[in-house]
Every structure is written in C-alpha cells, then in structure tokens.
Structure 1
C-alpha cells in the first residue's frame, strides 16, 4: 500500500487496494461510486465469483499484474465457489491469511449463518440495500481500515 505522497502509512492519502467480490453488477457500481466519494483514496477491484477472487489474490491468470489486495469485501453467496470456501482457503494460507476480510451479510441472521460455518472473518458488515446506505457503508469500511492501520502501527 502506498500513500499519495509515495510514503507508506496510515494517513488519509493512503491508497487502499480493495477487492470487492460481488456477483451483482448494480451493487458493484454503487460500491465503486461511493468508495470514490469516501475519505480513502481507494483502488476498487471487482470480481464476480470466488474462483476469480482466488486468482486475484494469488495474482494468477488475467490478474497476474494486479496488486495484492489490502482488504477484501466478500458476499458469502457467490456463483461457483462460495464466499465461505474462499475465506477458508485464504485464511489457511500462511502468506495471505493476514489480509483483512469483511463479509457482507444481508442481516444479523446472515451473519450468524456465516459464523456457523466455523470460518471467522475479520469483520461482518450489513450490506447496504438503499443507495443512501452505500455512503455510510463506505465510511464504515474506511473507519474499519483506519482501525487496522492504527493497530498495526501502534498509534
């Protein structure tokens, strides 16, 4: 991760490479637009399924030139490989297991279902439904990211 002035760190100019794993193109567009309007300087990379998400994080195939994501936002219900299968594989990899993952749930019940699979994400956030909720969601992700950076730097 690099900041806008070329230094690494947790300042507001830090570029955060976010991998969004979302099968709905309309939701992907809303996420991208609202992250652009958020307080982070984001690079949002979107894929639609778990297989592409794994290829992205392992920088394989068409994603070999993509950056390692700093943060993964994933919908648990994906075509093909589920979000939970992706999370299990990612968290079991010693080199990639520390990449923070936010599971996007549709409700508190959805969060409990995800947790019942014995796979722990770093955070669970309710997926926005209304357009205006996406703005708040982008801010929440930014707050979560800055909390991680602050923890890592000991500030």
Structure 2
C-alpha cells in the first residue's frame, strides 16, 4: 500500500539542540515531497501539543522525530506517555538521537518507537537520512493520520 499523498506531510520534531534543528529543517526542505516541520524543544510541551491539554485543540502530526536527551520530560518519558494515550499510540515515532547505548535502543523499542536512528554529524548525512525517511514513511508506508 502506498502512502503517497497530495497534502504536505506534517512532522513534529521534538528537539532542543538548535544545530540539529537547523540540519533537520535543511534536510527536509531539500526533499521532493512537501513537508512542514514543527519544532518543540521539550517532551512535556510536545505532549501538551499532541493532547491539547492547554485548552488548544490537539495537533496530530503524520510523523514524530524524537530526541531522547530533552529537558523536563526526556524522550523515553515522552514515549511512555504517548503509548499510554490511545489516540496517540498509533503515531509513528522515530527516535533520532546521539545515544548509541543499547539500553536506550531497547527501551525505545519497548515503548513502541517505530525506529531508532543515530543523528548524523554532517549535513549531507542528514539529507540522506531525510530522503530515506521520506522514501519509506511518506512514499511507501500508509500513515494512520488523515487530512480531511
């Protein structure tokens, strides 16, 4: 089943490092498929955005890119909270972090992460990673979100 669609892909990047945000934005901007990236620098803020807890309607992206090393609520705590919310549990979450620690990898998958990616260090590597994500998640896979 193809996930190809005419609407832009909505990506939530949960990341607090400005350099990584810049690299990710540049990489996704270079794709042939249209995408929008919303950046939230903390897991607690991202969870509030997804659930609409601050009196706002919930924002449901097509895909979440999640760093593990975050202030207040780290990435693993965020994954645990998302998994506990039935409306959010089906969202694709790709962990994108510097950690290569096997316990982080296992914990992420135990908490239903869909993939565990180590952050690239060069802009060309970020571009390659963004293209690989787009090819699989945006062009091939069917995403659980819909745009009405």
Aligned to 1:85: 77
Q: What CA distance in whole angstroms lies between the structure 1 residues aligned with 2:125 and 2:24?
A: 10
1:6-155 to 2 correspondences below 5 Å? 10-11=3-4, 13-61=6-54, 64=56, 67-106=59-98, 109-110=100-101, 112-117=102-107, 118-145=110-137, 146-149=139-142
Aligned to 2:142, the other structure's residue is in SS state helix
TM-score of the two chains, using structure 2 as the length reference: 0.83
1:17: how far off?
A: 0.7
Gaps in structure 1 of 5+ consecutive residues: 1-8
Q: What CA distance in whole angstroms lies between the structure 1 residues aligned with 2:81 and 2:62?
A: 17
1:68: how far off?
A: 1.2
Q: RMSD over aligned Cα, in angstroms?
A: 2.4
Gaps in structure 2 of 5+ consecutive residues: none
1:61: how far off?
A: 3.0
CA contact under 8 A between 2:105 and 2:116: conserved in structure 1? no
Q: What CA distance in whole angstroms lies between the structure 2 residues aligned with 1:78 and 1:22?
A: 7
Q: Structure 1, residues 85-111: CA drift from partner, whole Å, max 9, x if none?
A: 00011012111100000001325x33x
TM-score of the two chains, using structure 1 as the length reference: 0.80
1:120: how far off?
A: 3.0
Aligned to 1:3: none
Q: How many residues align?
A: 141
